[in-house]
Chain A
Amino acid sequence: MLITCPYCGPRDVIEFTYQGDGNRERPQPASQDLDAWNAYVYDRLNPAGDHNEIWQHSGGCRAHLRVVRNTLTHEISSVAFTRGDHKVAARHKAEGKL
């Protein structure tokens, strides 16, 4: 499997570290909403098909990447830096919490 890092170009998957499901939303650190924290830690969508996930190019530029990968075919349809456009960060910013 090749992942096309936006900075380094196409690289073999062994250069990358999988950091898991990118659909999860971490509650605000001060949040005491137990259900939200439990959902963040334990609950997964686990789709058979396109999956939002976070990878790190740990054997390269070390950037964290938001990757959309098909879990049936391993086809990658999108790779982007997580920085800036991460949806949780964006939402928190919009809500004035960041």
Chain B
Amino acid sequence: MAEYSAFSLLKNALTGNKDWKPAWRKPDPKASYDVIIIGGGGHGLSTAYYLAKEHGITNVAVLEKGWLGSGNVGRNTTAVRSNYLLPANTRFYEHSMKLWENLSHDLNYNVMFSQRGCLNLAHTPAQLDDFARRGNAMRHLGVDAELMTTAEIARLVPALDVSATARFPIVGGLMQRRAGTARHDAVAWGYARGADRRGVDIIENCEVTGFLRDGDRITGVTTSRGEVRARKVAVAVAGSTGQVVRLAGIDTMPIESHVLQAFVTESLKPFINTVLTFGMGHFYMSQSDKGGLVYGGDLDGYNSYAQRGSLPVVDEVMSEMLALFPGLARVRMLRNWGGVCDMSMDGSPIIATGPLPGMYLNCGWCYGGFKATPASGWCFAWTIAKDEPHDINAPFTLDRFHRGLVIDDKGQGATPRLH
């Protein structure tokens, strides 16, 4: 029987809530494992979960430098979508979407996945044509997409300024109805609990300080809590990728680390029931179940590991918000925060074996990592278990840059801050 259910909730309520077990154990690291996963964020935890569930590999350690979910899985704007143009991305993110659709049931943990749709606003006829092209590309691969008129958008989001006198008048939009949001912390906790219940050791406050090697081959790691050996060492550390692989003697990567900020306002009554993106700048917004508007904008624009943002971007994001919603001018912002994004050279991720024997790499998520969490773990687990990529992540190699096989959805070229 499922551990979390209406019945167990009632039973524990009647017995004073004394019998709940911790969602995951706090084990000490063993001397060796079959697989070590560096990074206890969303991707590392989902990798551990799918290694155990899909491949029966349960002698696994997840090593986390801080506390579980202290990085980007707890710092994002929670949007989930699969509205990409290029087939490699569309297939991957649609696989993720299908996992999201059953995730709460699969994990027996409510990740509050809410398919409230994601609407990209178009502000010029040319942009709407471009959206129609992307929508057709999505539908060609079986993903839902529909063009909306300004009148339909006005009915869906009444607070939006759809007048012809707006700073950037809205001429239509591209809607993916199955897109939406999820509760980001619950995703980390749910995967952690699912992995832990299958025997995975989740070891927090355990920083990797170096790699153990036998010739070229990686055979384990040294950590702040001692040496841990494993035949397979997987790296899923997002913005810290360059720092971690440098410990293995790899100096350069096709990645730059940049800071992305996000913001939340005070709680409002229901205001917007979809994820909305602005087409004339970089701005996206949704409303949390608590009522706060959760929104974000562009990267700060220069390399940073600071986990905090700069004020010029705050100013820009607020002005974009007001261009769309003049009525929000007097709403107060409660908090803002920053996360370090591993911006790749083509805006697409890397899920691959290597770069050294015994090593596996999961990085380059740019600022799209949250929605990828289930498929990233699913594909990475496959890659680790079978020593070769699944068809879905086969295009996301590390050497694609040097081989001329980039997957550049936005067509921006090798300028990471613009993806």
Q: Is A98 an interface residue (CB 8 A)?
A: no
Residues of A within 8 A of B312 (CB): 12-14
- On A, residues with C-beta under 8 Å from B are 1, 12-14, 18, 20-21, 35, 38-39, 41-48, 51, 53, 69, 71-74
Residues of A within 8 A of B415 (CB): 20
Closest residue of A by beta carbon distance from B252: A43
Q: How large is the interface on B (under 10, 10 to 19, 20 to 34, 35 or more residues)?
A: 20 to 34
With A13-B310, A38-B401 as known contacts, state yes or no: A44 contacts B305, CB within 8 Å: no
Contact present for A1 and B301 (CB under 8 Å): no
Q: List 10 A-B contacts (CB under 8 A).
A: A39-B252, A41-B401, A45-B242, A46-B303, A47-B242, A48-B240, A48-B242, A48-B257, A48-B305, A72-B305
Task: Select which of B240, B304, B310, B402 is within 8 A of A35 by beta carbon.
Answer: B402
Residues of A within 8 A of B240 (CB): 48
Contact present for A18 and B254 (CB under 8 Å): no
Contact present for B304 and A71 (CB under 8 Å): yes
Residues of B within 8 A of A38 (CB): 401-402
Task: Select which of B255, B304, B310 is within 8 A of A44 by beta carbon.
Answer: B255
With A18-B301, A20-B415, A48-B243 as known contacts, state yes or no: A42 contacts B254, CB within 8 Å: yes
With A18-B417, A48-B243, A48-B257 as known contacts, state yes or no: A42 contacts B402, CB within 8 Å: yes
Task: Select which of B302, B306, B345 is within 8 A of A42 by beta carbon.
Answer: B345
Q: Is B253 an interface residue (CB 8 A)?
A: yes
Residues of A within 8 A of B242 (CB): 44-48
A14 to B243, CA, bound (A): 29
- On B, residues with C-beta under 8 Å from A are 240, 242-243, 251-257, 301-306, 310, 312, 345, 401-402, 414-415, 417
Query: Which 7 A-B residue pairings sit nearest by Cβ, starting from the closest?
Result: A43-B252, A46-B242, A42-B401, A18-B302, A38-B402, A48-B305, A42-B254
With A42-B345, A46-B242 as known contacts, state yes or no: A21 contacts B303, CB within 8 Å: yes
Quote the shortest CB–CB distance from B365 to chain A (angstroms).
Answer: 15
Residues of B within 8 A of A45 (CB): 242, 251-252
A23 to B245, CA, bound (A): 19
Quote the shortest CB–CB distance from A59 to chain B (angstroms).
Answer: 12
A35 to B399, CA, bound (A): 12
Beyond A71-B303, A71-B304, 14 extra complex contacts between A and B, CB < 8 Å: A12-B312, A20-B417, A21-B303, A41-B414, A42-B402, A44-B252, A44-B256, A45-B252, A46-B252, A46-B255, A47-B242, A48-B243, A71-B257, A71-B306
Residues of A within 8 A of B345 (CB): 41-42
Contact present for A46 and B253 (CB under 8 Å): yes
Quote the shortest CB–CB distance from B210 to chain A (angstroms).
Answer: 16
A16 to B226, CA, bound (A): 46
Closest residue of B by beta carbon distance from A38: B402
Quote the shortest CB–CB distance from B307 to chain A (angstroms).
Answer: 9
A4 to B357, CA, bound (A): 46
